[in-house]
Amino acid sequence: MQVENEMSRLGIDKGWITASAEKPFYQNEAEWLKYNTGVSAQELIYVPAQIEGAKGVKLTVTAIGCEKEYLKEIKLEEGRMPRASEWQEHTPVVLLGKEAAEQIGVECGEIVTVAQKGFEICGIVLNAESVSSVPLESAVLLPVDALSTMTNGIVHELQITKTEKLSLIQAEKLAVRALKNQGHDVTAVTMQVQMEAASSVLSTFISVLGWVALICTLTGGIGIMNILLVSIRDRRREIGVMKSMGALPKQICGLFLLEALCYAALGGILGILLGMVLIYAAGRSLDLQAKARFGECLALFAGSVAAGAAFGVLPALRAAMLTCVDALRQE
């Protein structure tokens, strides 16, 4: 479950569309796309820029021009998120990555120069819960309008998202078709296919583990059967005495089945307890929040008891079919 949660952070509900250099995207392309197709899209710009702190330390980072919606999945170490009015009205505020802030020695509230323009740092970015070609911890984020002047209005990427009416695949197809009709040579990338492939691999791995567990259960059942067969051989005289006193075959069979169930139940309980200890130890070593579910433990216990009953039938029938004479005969 934790692996699947980590995979979902990679942006399974997002897609990215880029255009060739011959006919790139320009500003307001996302607005045109939404108006004509209903596809929700955001414009992104990536350019190298030199930033300088109050102490005069300079650093070349990637400046990311984005819209306010892009900031929803970003975590801050300190400071605040810019207000929508600040981001839309060209207020000189930026979000600065933690590593970049440490290298130039600035904090929230200070002024940093980006491409020879002064901006106030309103927040320090810790990390982002989404896929990005640029590590945001070492980048600076600005409004897309503020950065478009450095690219002459060119937008490098459109990020599309699913909506209530459109799935990600539908949104991608509509956007690609509309942009190609406008003469753009576009490339669309989504994590949907990669996520499905990864989920398939994970499901196969879980299935393999299930078969391994089944083989282990069968091995345990064979062990119970062998124990009972040895027990019958050692108790032949006891079986003979019971039959001579009037014990019925079904009673003899029931006793050995009960013994098999006791072995299986005890083994199931000990196995679950040992498994919980191993789950905790493995979780600590792999840095996973591993835990055992009560329902699954109950199903495993029922499975172990059923295996014991199944493998105890043959020895129990063998004990029930012993004749009194054969059972009392000394070897």
**190-200 pLDDT per residue, tens:** 766 667 777 78
Q: Could you give the CA distance from residue 224 to residue 28 in angstroms, rounded to a whole number?
A: 73
Q: Are 64 and 141 in contact (CB under 8 A)?
A: yes
Confidence of residue 132 (pLDDT cuts 50, 70, 90): low
Q: Are 263 and 224 in contact (CB under 8 A)?
A: yes
Asked if residue 122 and residue 178 are part of one domain, the reply reads yes
Residue 16: alpha-carbon gap to chain centroid: 21
Does residue 90 or residue 115 have the better pLDDT?
Answer: 115
Asked if residue 296 and residue 222 are part of one domain, the reply reads yes
Q: Could you give the CA distance from residue 283 to residue 267 in angstroms, rounded to a whole number?
A: 24
Asked if residue 206 and residue 179 are part of one domain, the reply reads no
Instruction: Flag whether pLDDT at 98 surpasses 70.
Output: yes
The pLDDT, as a whole number, for residue 269 is 92
Asked if residue 157 and residue 44 are part of one domain, the reply reads yes
* Residue 65 lies inside a defined structural domain of this protein: yes
Q: What is the extent of the structural domain holding 183?
A: 13-190
Asked if residue 204 and residue 155 are part of one domain, the reply reads no
Asked if residue 129 and residue 184 are part of one domain, the reply reads yes
Look up residue 192 and give its amino acid.
Q
Q: To the nearest 10°, the Cα dihedral for 143, 145, 146, 147? A: 90
Write down which residue in 190, 214, 236 finishes a domain. 190
Look up residue 213 and give its amino acid.
A
The pLDDT, as a whole number, for residue 323 is 77
Asked if residue 266 and residue 228 are part of one domain, the reply reads yes
Q: How do residues 238-269 score in pLDDT, each as one tens digit?
A: 888 888 888 888 888 888 888 888 888 998 89
pTM of the model as a whole: 0.57
Q: To the nearest 10°, the Cα dihedral for 41, 45, 51, 53? A: -10
* Residue 20 lies inside a defined structural domain of this protein: yes
Q: Are 272 and 297 in contact (CB under 8 A)?
A: yes
Instruction: Flag whether pLDDT at 58 surpasses 80.
Output: yes
Write down which residue in 168, 190, 212 finishes a domain. 190
Work out the average pLDDT over 58-79. 86
